[in-house]
A and B are shown apart, each in its own frame.
Chain A
Amino acid sequence: GAGVSQSPRYKVAKRGQDVALRCDPISGHVSLFWYQQALGQGPEFLTYFQNEAQLDKSGLPSDRFFAERPEGSVSTLKIQRTQQEDSAVYLCASSLYVTARAGYTFGSGTRLTVV
C-alpha cells in the first residue's frame, strides 16, 4: 500500500482482556518500529524489527507485551491481560533501510482504551 496501515483504529478492552494490534508497513520496508504514546506525551519506543528479526525489545514495559513479524512484513503487537495503564495510542513506523537515511513513515495509530 501507499502508507503504513494500522488496525483497528480504536480498541476498547476490558481490564484483563488480551488484545492484538496490527501494522501493515510499506511494502519492502526493512525496518519496523512500535511506539507507545500516552495522552499528552511524546511517543516512547517499544520494539524494533529488521525484517523478521526482533533486534531490540528493550522498550516493552512488561512480559505482557509481545510483538512479532514472522514473514518480515505485517507485524502484530499483542498485549495480554490488559491493565488501565496500557491505555495509549500505539504507533507503528517503517523505514526502507536498516539505517534511517530514508526517514520514517508512521501509521495513524491504534488508540487503546482499557476500562
Chain B
Amino acid sequence: KNEVEQSPQNLTAQEGEFITINCSYSVGISALHWLQQHPGGGIVSLFMLSSGKKKHGRLIATINIQEKHSSLHITASHPRDSAVYICAVGGKGAQKLVFGQGTRLTINP
C-alpha cells in the first residue's frame, strides 16, 4: 500500500461543477501539499497545510490530521483548471516529499 493514496485517479466534469479530490496518507506528517501539474511537466505549489482549511480563489484545501485525510475542492470549475493534481506529504523530521500518483482532472466546456 502506498503511503499516499489519491482518489479518483481520473475525473472528468463539466464547466461549473464542484470538484473534490481526496488524499489519504498513512504516515505521520509535518505538512501536506497540494500541487498542480500541467502538460509539459512543471509543478506549481497550490497549498501547504498542517491543520484546518485554506482557501485561495476558487480552490479550497482541508485536512483532518486525526483521520489522515485531505481534500482539494474547486468551485465553479473551468476548462483552464484541467491538469494533474498531486498530493504530497512531508514526514516529521524528513525534508523530502512523498507524492501520491496524481489525479488527472479534465473540465469540459
- Mark A residues whose CB is within 8 Å of B: 31, 33, 35, 37, 40-45, 48, 50, 56, 59, 89, 91, 93, 95, 98-100, 103-109, 111
Contact = CB atoms under 8 A, between A and B. Distances in A.
Nearest to B96: A45
What is the interface of chain B mostly: helix, strand, loop, or mixed?
Answer: strand
A89 B43 CA distance: 12
A107 B42 contact: yes
A89 B41 contact: yes
B7 interface: no
Given A100-B31, A103-B33, A56 B96 contact: yes
A91 B97 CA distance: 12
Interface residues of B, number: 23
B43 A31 contact: no
Instruction: Output the residue of B31, B86, B99 with the most chain A CB within 10 A.
Output: B99
Interface in B18-34: 30-31, 33
A61 to B, nearest CB: 15
Interface string B78-103: 00000000101010000111111110
Contacts of B40: 108
13 contacts: A33-B96, A35-B97, A42-B4, A42-B101, A42-B102, A45-B96, A50-B95, A56-B95, A99-B30, A100-B95, A108-B40, A109-B41, A109-B43
Given A42-B102, A100-B30, A106 B95 contact: no
B45 interface: yes
A89 B44 CA distance: 15
